[in-house]
Structure 1
Amino acid sequence: MYIDEFRDYCIAKPGVTEETPFGPDTLVLKVMGKMFALTGLDHFEFINLKCEPEKSAELREQWEGIRPGWHMNKTHWNSVFVDGSVPDNMIRDLIDHSYELVASSLSKKLKEELKSL
């Protein structure tokens, strides 16, 4: 997966915005203001994605290219490498999972706003 494919896939989802709050080298994608994905812009090596803790552990055992989230809460975040060790369709599934996990944790007001988009 290339960075433009990653970005386009994420930004097409309802309520998604992109920011660089950690500096110009880190792209952060948020759904209704809550982060669900981030990656390096200069070095697109992996994507940090939120994940349910039980699923995180299973994925890390099954895939060499899925590791505890770099500079993130290791229980809730995975670093998913884009070096071919994880297929693109699996990466898209994990992006979807992260997006849905974060969207489901939004306040009732934000969930209603997201539904209307």
Structure 2
Amino acid sequence: MMDKIIEYCLKKKGATKEYPFGPDPVVIKIAGKMFALMFQDKADNVRLNLKCDPIIAENLREQHEAVQPGYHMNKKHWNTIILDGSLSEQDIFVMIDHSYDLVVKTLSKSLLESIK
């Protein structure tokens, strides 16, 4: 699942994979701004941090046990999704799309134009 998610993120226009904190976690960025971060916790659970509109973030946390406030992130704007099989691949992809779109909206016009 981890590889599939990384692959999905990297299909986004301008997305790059980086390891700014060592071999783990993998960070996916656009124009130097993170929109996804994936790591394995001590219990070997794969976790995915994604940016999220605060109101949507609250709703997702209420609806899904696997969606929690962002681990080591601004908990208002980031969620951590535990990839335990309780969320469909499609649900996860929708959350990735939302995170990517939120970050893209913050980019300047010149930066957007420079993204291939």
TM bracket, shorter-chain basis:
over 0.9
Q: Distance in 1 between matches of 2:35 and 2:28?
A: 6
Runs of 5+ consecutive residues of structure 2 not aligned to the other structure: none
Pairwise CA distance, 1:5: 0.2
Mapped pair 1:15 → 2:18: no
Runs of 5+ consecutive residues of structure 1 not aligned to the other structure: none
Equivalent AA in structure 2 for residue 95 of structure 1: I
Q: Distance in 2 between matches of 1:44 and 1:104?
A: 31
Over aligned residues, Cα RMSD in angstroms?
A: 1.3
Identity of aligned residues (%): 49
Give TM-score scaled by structure 1 length.
Answer: 0.92
Pairwise CA distance, 1:41: 5.7
Q: Distance in 1 between matches of 2:36 and 2:75?
A: 14
| Equivalences for residues 36-75 of structure 1 within 5 A | 36-40=35-39, 43=44, 45-75=46-76
Pairwise CA distance, 1:45: 1.4
**Matched positions, count:** 114
Q: Write out per-residue CA displacement over residues 25-60 of structure 1, whole angstroms, 9 at most, x where no aligned residue.
A: 110000111100001168451100000001000110
Q: Distance in 1 between matches of 2:12 and 2:81?
A: 20
Q: Distance in 1 between matches of 2:7 and 2:38?
A: 13
8 Å CA contact 1:16–1:29 kept in 2: the answer is: yes
Equivalent AA in structure 1 for residue 80 of structure 2: S
8 Å CA contact 2:40–2:47 kept in 1: the answer is: no
Give TM-score scaled by structure 2 length.
Answer: 0.92
